[in-house]
Amino acid sequence: MILLLDNFETLMDPETRNISNDELNEALQALLDFPAHAVRVIITTRIAPYDLAFVHPELQFSHHLDKGLESPYAENILRKMDLGGILGLKTASPDLLNDARIRTLGNPRALEALFAILSVDRETTLAEILKDTKKLLPERVVDVLVGEAFSRIDDNAQRVMQALAVYSRPVTSSAIDYLLQPYMQGQDSVSVLKRLVNMHLVRKDENYYYMHPVDQDYALSRIPNGSAADRMNIENPPFSLFAMLHRGADYFKKNTQSRRELENNR
């Protein structure tokens, strides 16, 4: 059994570099203390848990992705994402895929962003993207590719990603629809979310949607800050971070009230 804990840095104290959730910390230590068992834990994080490293260090293995995935793992990821073979990745030459690995530094998120660019722009080939050296600078490869993928999707898809970024946590499509109602009237986000999931720009866990922190940070940066006065315009709020954060908080407030009323009527 494999237990994957992704984006683990959200559960870390950045100052102490210790796990902030006591129960989770105890559970992970217990797994290390137990005799031989079939559970394997994989943690992806930008901040390594300091305290956990001293619990049976002989049973732990760290793999730093500073240099990204080596060959052939990065190339295999690109091939497997192209399920139907319509993007040309399945049949691409080893040299071309190796070039993609080198130019993206083998970074898994950069590989997903590269796939997203090809998915949304079928007229552009992998070879053409790799020829544009200005957009794949090694020192900023993830940010550049994420920005490129974001710029190629339509306005509605951008709005949905920005709404997810505002919530900054897994939410349902209903939460997205509520937040975007003043800006996308009559639009249902489900079909857009499904498309974004297929493009690896959004991730789904049961009925909840969320984004990778890199995508989240970029989408959030594309929203104008606005001013505190934007929160007062309830009928026609401007498209600003102040207004959207206020409306997002209002969604949670109304949901809490509805649950309380339901419980009181039981």
What does the pLDDT profile of the chain (266 residues) look like in tens digits? 999 998 888 888 877 889 999 999 999 999 999 998 999 999 988 788 998 999 999 999 987 766 788 899 999 999 999 988 999 999 999 999 999 998 888 888 889 989 999 998 888 899 998 887 666 666 677 888 889 899 989 999 999 999 999 999 999 999 999 999 999 877 789 999 999 998 889 999 999 999 988 899 999 999 999 999 988 887 789 999 999 999 999 999 888 765 665 555 55
Give the CA distances from residue 214 to residues 113, 208, 262, in Å, rounded to whole numbers and listed in that order. 10, 18, 38
Say yes or no: 105 and 52 in one domain: no
pLDDT tens string 137-175 = 666 778 888 898 999 899 999 999 999 999 999 999 999
Say yes or no: 138 and 189 in one domain: no
- Would residue 64 count as lying in a domain? no
Q: The whole model's pTM is what?
A: 0.70
Amino acid at 120: V
Say yes or no: 111 and 205 in one domain: no
Q: How many residues does the chain have?
A: 266
Say yes or no: 99 and 180 in one domain: no
Residues 47-81, buried b or exposed e (16+ Cβ, 10 A)?
Answer: eebeebeebeeeeeeeeeeeebbeeeebbebbbeb
Say yes or no: 145 and 180 in one domain: no
Say yes or no: 110 and 82 in one domain: yes
- The residue from 104, 127, 152 where one domain ends is 152
Residue 188: which CATH number?
1.10.10
- Would residue 206 count as lying in a domain? yes
- Would residue 68 count as lying in a domain? no
- Would residue 105 count as lying in a domain? yes
Say yes or no: 137 and 182 in one domain: no
Q: How many Å is the Cα radius of gyration of the chain?
A: 21
- The residue from 152, 178, 205 where one domain ends is 152
User: How far is it between the farthest Cα atoms of the chain?
Assistant: 66
- The DSSP 8-state label assigned to residue 11 in this structure reads G
User: Which run of H or E residues covers position 197?
Assistant: helix 189-198
Say yes or no: 212 and 246 in one domain: yes
Amino acid at 99: D
- The residue from 152, 181, 202 where one domain ends is 152
Q: Tokens 């848990």 correspond to what residue?
A: 49
- Would residue 65 count as lying in a domain? no
Say yes or no: 168 and 206 in one domain: yes
d(CA 214, CA 142): 8
Would you call 193 exposed, middle or buried from its count of C-beta atoms within 10 A (0-12, 13-18, 19+)?
A: buried
Provide the residue range defining the domain that includes 27. 2-59
Amino acid at 23: E
Helix axes 155-167, 173-180, angle to 10 degrees: 110
Q: Tokens 């994989």 correspond to what residue?
A: 42
Say yes or no: 133 and 162 in one domain: no
φ and ψ of 22, to 5 deg: -65, -40
Say how many domains are in the chain.
3
Say yes or no: 36 and 126 in one domain: no
